[in-house]
Amino acid sequence: MIQSLGDLVRRNARFFPEDAATVFQGRRTTNIDLLHQAEALGASLLAAGCQRQDRVALLGMNSDRYWEAMAGCWLSGLIVATVNFRLATPEIQHILNDTQPHVLLFEAAYAPAIASIRQQLSVRHYVCLDGDVGDWAIPYGAFIAGCRAPLANQQVHTDEIATLLYTSGTTGRPKGVMRSHLAELTLGEQMAMMFDFRTGGRSLVVMPLFHAGAQSSSYAQMWRCGTLFIQRGFEPEAVLDIVAADHITNLHFVPQMLQAMLDAAEARDAAGRTVDTSSVETIAYAAAPMSPALLRRALARFGPVFVNGWGMSEGNGTSLPKHKHALEGTDAALLSSIGQPNAKAEMRIVATDDTGLDRDCAPGETGELWLRSASVMTGYWNNSAATIEALRDGWLRTGDLGYADAAGNIFLVDRKKDMIISGGENIYSQEVERAVAEHPDVASVAVIGVPDPKWGETVMAIIVPKAGTAPTADAIITHSQTLIASYKKPRHVVFVPALPLLPSGKVDKISLRRQYATAPL
């Protein structure tokens, strides 16, 4: 019986030993080879003094060795703590001091940053994944070769922590999300079902593996005994080439990636170059809202292969399946929906009345989305106050606001902390974003509230125009008024070359609010 992620690695190695587990830069690793290499790392970590549920931190970009390192931790009962490689050195230091890892596995590119903070860390062993950076760190090959004892079979329990990953920090300093083996197994099984992954599928991994998005779809492909084609990062031209050459069946994007891939495909069309995406069976999108305008464009290009998954690092809840992505008919309205609860999840939409009592919302009434599922986190690392606030009576209070229609389809309207209150009226930023995104000259948009002496807050739209266009603020405001009430329209419009993004693919609204809070309007 599968009790842990390590069991899943063993199962694939037993029943599909010569099938490819990963392909990276032309290097093919079979399921049996992955098991042997991960066991060697696990044995080496235990020989280095790691005890059950000790942390092993992992800092690097996507690679097959990164996945191997995660598997080594799962097999040996250790917690793999992934670190965002895009962070500044002080932020990396904060996370490493919070997790207190016994071992840090890192790529050579980050050696200068680690060397500069070593004296402030409690790490016992530094292991460089891809080179020799000096006497203070052990090369990965030497670290593995130094252990002669095989990895004894570790009975890892479902409630033990498998991964510790840090949120993108949309509400402040990142929090460490503790995810058990049961949560990760449930997440992978849910994703395999809702994304319609088949046995022997080929998934392209372009989102960063330190993040829940890439991990979740990779778990799904593990459940289906398929292959992970791991890329260092996302390059739209490279994605088109790999999809065609390697017959990729499954893609998982955030909306900004999908837009970039569409742009690249259309540029090839215009140049008379072949674009072959005929092998693609599923394009999953998640992490950030997709504008209906972009989704209609994608459906026209790729056909009915899209699945919307809603969730977060803390848990996974709903999906909108392929057959509900319709350009016409009654289902067309669902393109702005996050679908219905997954088979292994329960959802409530809850409002709190003036006395502080919680009640379930009626259809069409906006409230906070609550989630109950085995995929929900155990809690926040070293942060009991945040854990108590988020987890109540078995329910995860997600901080997302939404409503359900009479059929139970859920529509996301905003994050609690992103809601704008102007003159006493609640304005949902995502509703305004959807309206602005319908303008033909808008490539992407973020909406925030900015301080206003009369209204408290007013609406600002920060827009990336489409290439070759020059929309005006007046045109955007006039367009918005045709789709939403006048009091919701942007009062201020700013045009920028790009929006700041978090590793999850979400727009970094904290930095935007900070930037424009005192800017002259």
Domain contains 490? yes
Q: Mind listing the pLDDT tens digit for each residue in 368-405?
A: 999 999 999 999 999 999 999 999 999 999 988 899 99
Name the residue type at position 278.
S
Instruction: Note the pLDDT of residue 463.
Output: 97
Domain contains 134? yes
**Residues in contact with 364: Cβ distance below 8 Å, sequence separation at least 6, in sequence order:** 403, 404, 405
Mean pLDDT over 207-225 rounds to 95
Residue 466 burial by Cβ neighbours in a 10 Å radius (0-12, 13-18, 19+):
middle
Instruction: Note the pLDDT of residue 418.
Output: 83
**What is the percent of the chain with per-residue pLDDT over 90, rounded to a whole number?**
75
pLDDT at 513 over 80: yes
Among residues 22, 34, 17, which one has the least CA distance to residue 229? Answer: 22
Residue with tokens 């994007």: 253
Q: Mind listing the pLDDT tens digit for each residue in 238-247?
A: 999 999 999 9
Domain contains 349? no
Instruction: Note the pLDDT of residue 14.
Output: 97
pLDDT at 440 over 70: yes
Mean pLDDT over 345-358 rounds to 89
Q: What is the value of pTM for the model shown?
A: 0.87
Q: Which domain CATH number covers 33?
A: 3.40.50.12780
Domain contains 502? yes
Q: Work out the pLDDT band at 430, boundaries 50, 70, 90.
A: confident
Token pair recorded at residue 130: 């891809």
Q: Work out the pLDDT band at 518, boundaries 50, 70, 90.
A: confident
**With contact defined as beta carbons under 8 Å apart, do 267 and 234 qualify?**
no
Report the number of distinct structural domains present in the chain.
2
Exposure string over 156-172, b if 16+ CB within 10 A, otherwise e: bebebbbbbbbbbbbee
Cα 468 to Cα 35, 441, 464, 471, 477, distances in angstroms:
51, 9, 12, 10, 20
Q: Mind listing the pLDDT tens digit for each residue in 62-106?
A: 999 999 999 999 999 999 999 999 888 988 999 999 999 999 999
Domain that holds residue 451: 424-516
User: What's the CA gap between 105 and 127, in Å, rounded?
Assistant: 5
Domain contains 482? yes
Domain contains 147? yes
Instruction: Note the pLDDT of residue 168.
Output: 65
Instruction: Note the pLDDT of residue 520.
Output: 59
User: What's the CA gap between 149 and 338, in Å, rounded?
Assistant: 49
| Range with lowest mean pLDDT among 278-292, 399-413, 447-461 | 278-292
Q: Which domain CATH number covers 438?
A: 3.30.300.30
Cα 183 to Cα 319, 344, 378, 397, distances in angstroms:
17, 11, 8, 17
pLDDT at 172 over 60: no
Q: Mind listing the pLDDT tens digit for each residue in 466-488?
A: 999 999 999 999 999 898 888 89
Among residues 159, 181, 222, 187, which one has the least CA distance to residue 373? Answer: 187
- Calculate the average pLDDT of the chain: 92
Domain contains 103? yes
Domain contains 337? no
Question: End of a domain among 161, 178, 195?
Answer: 178
Instruction: Note the pLDDT of residue 23.
Output: 98
Question: End of a domain among 178, 194, 216?
Answer: 178
Q: Work out the pLDDT band at 135, boundaries 50, 70, 90.
A: very high
Question: End of a domain among 128, 152, 178?
Answer: 178
Query: Rg (Cα) of the chain, in Å, rounded?
Result: 23
